[in-house]
Amino acid sequence: MRDLKNVNDAISFDIKKDRLFSATHEEILKGYTTDIYFLRAQEILRHLNLESTPVVAEIFPRREGIFAGLPEILYLLKDKNVKIWAIPEGESFVPYDTVVRIEGPYNEFGVFETPILGILASSSAWATATKECKEAAGDSPLLCFASRHVHPAVAPVLERSAKIGGADGLSCVLGAKIAGIVPKGTVPHSLKVAKAYDEIVEDNTPKIILVDTFKDEAEESLRVANLLKDRLSGIRLDTPGERGGVTPGLVREVRARLDQAGFSYVRIYVSGGLTPERIRILKEAGAFAFGVGSYISSFSPIDMTMDLKEVNGKKIAKRGRIPGKIDNPKLIQVK
């Protein structure tokens, strides 16, 4: 597979028909996920002998959030002749902040404008959503359960971004590996399953059992606690919306019943449609930890825009933008 250089390449290459639709790493690195627009632009520059003209490009977001995705950008451009400045991974930004600046010949990176913006827009959105939840959870553990809502190709990207945003636990195997932590989960429950689980797993693992499955949550919590005793670390409530979801009243009741039965060490994990506001309410009611899924996965990408700010040392700008570099004291040279 050769580097994508011009419009003709973009039309004439072949792919297998029977495949996953997500792009492979090679396809991304060779430029095949670009918009055709940028190939046209490069062809014209070449025609005008301008392809090596030095330029300064800056990227800015249109909403506030938490910056994530930089390592993938650096990996994409690792062999290119450009200098790069960026704000640190996990740093906050406000609209119009310069978050990345790239200097070098335009043809070194022009074809990567689409993937660079896409990586930053997605990763920053997921980190930002997680940060909002973590702020609501405070010192309580926040677990990311969002991978089932996104394409598996980006599930590890999402989980790693959630880690940047403050998630304490990740459920996706590859995501946790990339983020450098051990994946965490719970176990579906029936008495038989819980017993088997108890036999399989060495005792020092924290066992958390999901009790939404077949019976009343309070009754089941007590049954599983009586079965596993001090080998039970927590139960997870995930009452489906059809049954009213997890309410503060349910958390309070299960907490009281566990306490009355001597299981005050058993922690209550909650999940199911959590938002920062519901996290605050359920924490107040006694929940210990929070599993968040769709709040993170459905957070809108934070649109990023790349503007040329200098060409050949001369300040320029499109209509509606201010010509020349816009400084941001948080920027650090990273390449």
Question: What CA–CA distance (Å, rounded) separates 78 from 71?
Answer: 10
For the segment 60-79, give every residue that binds a second copy (CB under 8 A). 71-72, 75-76
Nearest to 145 by CA among 278, 291, 33: 291
Specify the residue, 21 or 139, whose C-beta has the smaller distance to a second copy: 21
Tell me how far, at minimum, the Cβ of 112 lies from a second copy, in Å: 9
Residue number, 145 or 263, with CB nearest to a second copy:
145
Beta carbons of 262 and 114 less than 8 angstroms apart: no
Stretch that binds a second copy, among 42-50, 53-61, 79-87, 130-138 (CB under 8 A): 42-50
Shorter beta-carbon distance to a second copy: residue 44 or 332: 44
Among left, alpha and beta (phi > 0; psi -120 to 50; other), residue 85 is beta
**Residue 265 lies near a second copy (rule: CB under 8 A):** no
CA distance 211 to 308: 55
Of 138, 206, 240, 262, which lies in the binding site for a second copy, with binding defined by CB under 8 A? 240
Candidates 130-138, 148-156, 262-270, 274-282: pick the segment binding a second copy (CB under 8 A).
148-156
Q: How far apart are CA 311 and CA 317, in angstroms?
A: 10
Among the candidate windows 13-21, 51-59, 130-138, 226-234, which touches a second copy by CB under 8 A?
13-21
Beta pairing, strands 142-144 & 169-170: parallel
Residue 221 touches a second copy, criterion: CB under 8 A: no
Please identify which residue in the block is written with the tokens 């062809």: 43
Q: Nearest 5°: CA angle at 280, between 274 and 282?
A: 70
Binding test (CB under 8 A) with a second copy, winner from 300, 312, 327, 333: 300
Distance in Å, CB of 21 to a second copy, minimum: 5
Residue bearing tokens 């906050």: 92
Site for a second copy in 104-133 (CB under 8 A): 113-115, 117-119, 121-123
Residue with tokens 């330029």: 55
Give the residue, chosen from 67, 106, 109, 145, that forms a contact with a second copy under the rule CB under 8 A.
Answer: 145
Asked if 256 interacts with a second copy (CB under 8 A), we say yes
When the beta carbons of 135 and 253 are compared against a second copy, the nearer one is: 253
> Segment contacting a second copy (CB under 8 A): 51-59, 83-91, 127-135, 150-158?
150-158
Residues 305-334 that bind a second copy (CB under 8 A): 315, 317-324
- Of the residues 5, 27, 80, 92, which one makes contact with a second copy according to CB under 8 A: 27
Examine residue 37 and tell whether it contacts a second copy (CB under 8 A). yes
Which residue's structure tokens are 């941001």? 328
Minimal CA–CA distance to 195: which of 205, 212, 207, 185? 207
Instruction: Please identify, using beta-carbon distances, which residue of 87 and 144 lies nearer to a second copy.
Output: 144
Nearest-5° Cα angle at 77, 72 to 80:
170
Contacting a second copy within 167-206 (CB under 8 A): 171-178, 182-188, 192-193, 196-197, 199-200
Task: Please list, residue by residue across 249-286, b when 16 or more beta carbons sit within 10 angstroms of its beta carbon and e when fewer do.
Answer: ebbbbbbebbeeeebeebbbbbbbebebebbeebbebb
State yes or no: residue 98 binds a second copy (CB under 8 A): no
Q: How far is the CB of 191 from a second copy (least distance, A)?
A: 12
Per DSSP, 180 falls in state: T
Single out the residue of 81, 226, 264, 298 in contact with a second copy (rule: CB under 8 A): 298
153/138 Cα distance (integer angstroms): 30
